[in-house]
Structure 1
């Protein structure tokens, strides 16, 4: 695990090693154990890395080359099937210099060319310099677990695991990409291939980019399979899922350093820990987080469930109960994120990562289980719409209008139920695609247009993802859209950035490629059955987890941010989104912003995500556009609530 970066010069000038060093210095948190760089003899291309030592601690230095030094590589991440690949390659006569998992990429490339990526099972981004062809090849893993940013100009092409490394290049400065404001406000994140920085883009998942003879070519090497397999029985699917999950977790336990797991007590993290415990001779180290405070904090406190699972599985369990200094955290975390998000899970992920890093360097997480096996409430839309449509139309309209008049707040059990009902009833008459959009959106596109006065950009990432999905099966169609948008550009991005902010490698075994391809073939009628989310997955886990864990109500891995915005963070929110601040920034209509704040405070809407999106964008702007340090922005914000 590390951070990679590099440069290719189109203009004939030599890559400056000092530039590579500057890119590495700003991402030292990704790899505090080691660093290295290689510049080709003509000076055209330079590749470099910062290393967090996980496998082959002594011999895994990068960049690494093949036997005759004709191909050089830097790789970030882990290749979980490297032992099998290594054995195959050795049988073919390839000699290895190290015990590192990354070295298999070099010899696979020698053997197969660009097709070598089809043999990889892992999370990774890489850069490979082929001296024979004077060719640079960079790539990103199948699901987009590891991010990769690219900047291209007439003189050069730069790449890096973090966007801030590209800002260290001569002539680069942070500029807002206004074209993505619409998607950001609509979804709460910036979907690939765009980024919030003008001139910097994200390489999409499962994508390769090659530079050869001064020409740049980019192509997709893998997509989520679209064929539904209706032949297996329900019992056969249960067994396939059970063996697939166990194999994925076991593969991802390989490490030469201490390893642990996040444990919330939910189905996904509990499944990961259960299979880890089955394949470990020592108790698994597990880490859980809870919040101090009132009702809102208690709603997000899953410690009793985590404790129950830890006791059942005999883990070495560690808990932390926090009342986080959110004002002190936000500037630092948004600097690490590179791009603002409206998902408060980035705060929780950072806090529990920081806690776990005291003991371990590698952590396993249950991220991805909801997408693969049908765990989100939005996947129940068709089920409840069919029930609702049995009512006369006049009664459906009456229900919708009545619900729209009720207060909404996600941090009260009763009002959160009202919030969910309002959202469902408001979207019940829409098409399946538009209903999905309504469940997922942070702000309606009409509100976005009003906020930006129509200048938020014309892109629509969800529409593009639906157009590419091509699924007749409605649930798996949503899965395909998730895999193109929210999963890589929100959940996986924040997981990577927040764990690596504390030099912790986070693995996501439920997004193992083989398991993903298996899940993509399961019919929707079995993934979610009779209104039971994760039906098949839960049946597959019934032999290792109790019913009260498998069937308890879902709670997201976030924070009680909406309540905090009405209490502790209210002065910061009101100042960051004050009329003069909004006017001076020049991005949004101050009247629309003021209305959103007032409606949230009065519980006319639950504006948690929308206000967090706006507030985080302003903090991000102060950091990157205005050039202030995280400490300076923190001091400024704390002065507002002193």
Structure 2
């Protein structure tokens, strides 16, 4: 695992300074503490920081082909590198290292821009082709590894973390207001947007070619979610075969590895399969809280005892003030998923014992694991005649603003019950996804900010993403959208940033693209059945999962954020938000409304911890990266 960066002046002969590439790499030492590599050739410069995983002593980057005409830097792993290497050697290619990265160079020589289709892994790589004067970048299919890029006036920049790119003083920093609105709606900024105007995220399954004075972005992989008819037994057999294969591929490492274990369905399956595939005792790592309602350690211990793992636990205290500010620096843009806090801590604990950890991420998106899916799977029972009154009812219900009412209140429950009856399934999912709705943002934003954001860009974005699904089934479309948005832009971003902040590589077997493709072909009625989530996945691994794990309610990676805003985070919020001296922030946000929200929370008249976390995160980011 590494951090990569570079600059290419593709419309001029202006040389790239080594000191710039060095500075960009220095911002990512945590991603690669083991070594650094830089290549400069006139108007192009590429660099990387390396975390050594495979071929520890001989796999330093950049890596070249036999004639040194092709250079590559890569962040991630090519899990099928051993079989690919054998095929390429049979075709006459000569290898100098045992590294998985070297197969990228020779696959590019053999297959050109089609080489990405042969890779099975998580990756973000850049290839410099000296002969063609071509810069070629690609990102893995599920977006596990990031690529940020910027193209302006004949110069192209790229990096693994945005703050690396900002080392170049030619990069202009201005806030993308549409991205700001996305952040407050979704708690993350969806690809290809970033908080900075002009800087973009490369979409998962896409690649970039900079050549002959132009920049082109193309898609090399698309998920086909059309259902394929099979028997239940055939589905189960294939799930088990592909999952075990994916785990075995991710156990290839020249350094110690372990697994995250929450005690949930997905991580328990991964640990069970690791135990089956490994000849040594599996190391497991779990996070807990002092507050019992957020603590899953009991279930994690149950799995550890079942499989005899070397188990490690860490209990998170409320001392999160320093971490909240450090996370802003690591993410480089506002990121509001508060589960980044426990993910950071479990990564830190895990890194003290191993360098690689397997996780159960993506099981929920592939097999409908969230509590919203059984609700959304219900068919709309209302006739077209009744639906004619929807617009009137929606307007009335929206004026009540359910998101601003206490979650446990009767009014909110009544509103959501009515919304379920008059909204379409897609509309209900949109309401479910939104953290701050249009009404709330109207109160939060100043008039100046409201006037600069075009009408409800978040809804238009969501509708566009739903429309990309080939399968017209409602639940299939929603799962498709979650795989392409929530998974890469929230979960994968969170895991990448928090794990790499601790120099830890995290591998996710459920994101093996062959496993994903098969899971997407399974009809949704096998995923949600009789109100039960992950029905087929649970049945497929009934031998691995104890009844207590298989039948328990999903908890998620929740934290006591409401309590923390009445204790440790209180003074931080008062200083960073209510006491801000930033003219931009005071002109674009309604501090009177924010103060009212904060006071209501302190007086326990409402629990606004999640909303306050979004606001705090944005203000901390703005002060750190934009100043006044």
TM-score in same-fold range (> 0.5): yes
1:29 aligns to 2:30 (yes or no): yes
- Report the equivalent of 2:102: 103
Which of 229, 232, 235 is the equivalent residue of 1:234? 232
Please tell me whether the aligned partners of residues 403 and 421 of structure 1 are also in contact (alpha carbons under 8 angstroms): no
Q: Does structure 2 conserve the Cα–Cα contact (< 8 Å) formed by 1:176 and 1:196?
A: yes
Q: Deviations over 1:539-595 (max 9, x none)?
A: 011011111101101111131112222343233334434286687612222344344
1:451 to 444, 457, 461: 444
Conserved 8 A contact 2:258-2:357: yes
Which residue number corresponds to residue 508 of structure 1? 508
> SS where residue 566 of structure 1 aligns?
coil
2: CA distance, partners of 1:355 / 1:262:
10
- SS in structure 2 at match of 1:468: coil
Unpaired stretches in structure 1, ≥5 consecutive residues:
410-414, 628-642
1:341 aligns to what?
335
1:321 to 315, 325, 343: 315
In the alignment, what sits opposite 1:442?
435
**Equivalent residue in structure 2 for 1:429, among 383, 403, 422:** 422
1:283 corresponds to: 281
1:214 alignment counterpart = 213
C-alpha distance in structure 2 between counterparts of 1:368 and 1:147, whole Å:
17
Distance 1:240 1:416 in 2: 45
Once the 2 structures are TM-superposed, how far is the Cα of residue 408 of structure 1 from its aligned partner? 3.3
1:477 is aligned to 2:469: no
Q: For residues 303 and 97 of structure 1, do their structure 2 counterparts lie closer, same or farther at Cα, with a shift above 3 Å needed? A: same
Distance in 1 of aligned mates of 2:403 and 2:287:
35
Partner of 2:565, secondary structure, is helix
Change in 2 beyond 3 A, CA 1:420/1:220: farther
- Verify the 8 A CA contact 1:582 1:590 in the aligned structure 2: no
Q: 2:380–2:421: 8 Å Cα contact kept in structure 1?
A: no
Q: Which residue of 1 aligns with 2:40?
A: 39
For the Cα contact (< 8 Å) 1:182–1:456, is it kept in 2?
Answer: no
Alignment check: 8 A CA contact 1:582 1:589 kept: no
Matches within 5 A, 1:32-181: 32-40=33-41, 43-172=42-171, 174-181=173-180
Deviations, residues 578-629 of structure 1 (Å, cap 9, x unaligned): 28668761222234434443555566765333221111000111211129xx
Q: Give the whole-Å Cα distance in 1 for the aligned partners of 2:24 and 2:125.
A: 16
Q: For 1:132-180, what per-residue CA distance to the aligned partner results, in whole angstroms no more than 9, with x for missing partners? A: 1111001111010001111222141110000011000132354322231
Counterpart for residue 619 of structure 1: 620
1:151 touches 1:200 (CA, 8 Å); kept in 2?
yes
Contact 1:3 1:161 in 2 (8 A): yes
Counterparts of 2:150 and 2:109 in 1: how far apart (Å)? 28
2:375 counterpart (381, 392, 400):
381
TM-score by length of 1: 0.90
CA contact (8 A) 1:579 1:590 kept: no
Offset of 1:273 from its aligned partner? Answer: 0.6
5+ unaligned residues in a row in structure 2: which ranges? none
The change in CA–CA distance for 1:545 and 1:418 in structure 2 (over 3 A counts) is: farther
245-254 or 585-594, larger mean C-alpha shift: 585-594
| Distance in 1 between residues matched to 2:430 and 2:605, nearest whole Å | 21
Using a 3 Å threshold, how does the CA distance of structure 1 residues 236 and 23 change in structure 2: closer, same or farther?
A: same
3-state SS of paired residue (2:284)? strand
User: Do the aligned partners of residues 497 and 469 (structure 1) sit closer, same or farther apart at CA in structure 2, a change above 3 Å counting?
Assistant: same
Alignment partners' CA distance in 2, 1:155 and 1:327: 42
Residues matched between the structures, number: 609
Taking the aligned partners of 1:35 and 1:419, their CA distance within structure 2 comes to 54
Answer yes or no: is 1:302 the counterpart of 2:296. Answer: yes
Q: Which of 326, 348, 358 pairs up with 1:364? A: 358
Deviation at 1:69, TM superposition (A): 1.1
Shift in Å at residue 384 of structure 1?
5.2
- In structure 2, the partner of 1:637 is none
1:239-273 deviations in Å (ceiling 9; x for gaps)? 21121211111111110000010000000111111
| Worse-matched range after superposition: 238-247 or 65-74 | 238-247
Secondary structure, aligned partner of 2:150? strand
Q: Secondary structure at the match of 2:572?
A: helix
- Aligned partner of 2:610 in structure 1 is 609
2:329 aligned counterpart, secondary structure = helix
Distance 1:302 1:403, change over 3 A: farther
Equivalent in the alignment of 1:8? 8
Query: In structure 2, what is the equivalent of residue 631 of structure 1?
Result: none
- Could you tell me how far apart the structure 2 residues matched to 1:569 and 1:423 are? 31
Q: Secondary structure at the match of 1:569?
A: helix
TM-score (structure 2 length as normaliser): 0.92
Contact 2:224 2:470 in 1 (8 A): no
Tell me if the contact between 2:380 and 2:425 (Cα under 8 Å) persists in the aligned partners: no
Shift of 1:403: 12
